[in-house]
Amino acid sequence: WTKPEVRKAYKKLIKVLHPDMNGGDRSQEEQLQEVVWAWDQLKSSRNFKDQ
């Protein structure tokens, strides 16, 4: 995957999982936190810089 593809997939997941975007449903909040954590780990790696 290229960096723009990863970023696009991340943003798509956030829209699907975020409670404000899906009618206040908080059932996927834990999965959202995992996605955000993984994104933070990826951004902090030496080979991937958020542009």
Q: How do residues 4-51 score in pLDDT, each as one tens digit?
A: 899 999 999 999 898 888 777 778 888 999 999 999 998 888 777 645
> How far apart, in whole angstroms, are the C-alpha atoms of residue 35 and residue 29?
10
Please answer whether residues 19 and 26 qualify as being in contact, where contact means their C-beta atoms are separated by less than 8 angstroms: yes
Rg (CA), the chain: 12
pLDDT at 33: 93
> How far apart, in whole angstroms, are the C-alpha atoms of residue 41 and residue 25?
26
Torsion angle of the four alpha carbons 47, 49, 40, 16, in this order, in degrees rounded to the nearest 10: -110
pLDDT at 38: 92
Question: What is this structure's pTM?
Answer: 0.74
pLDDT at 49: 63
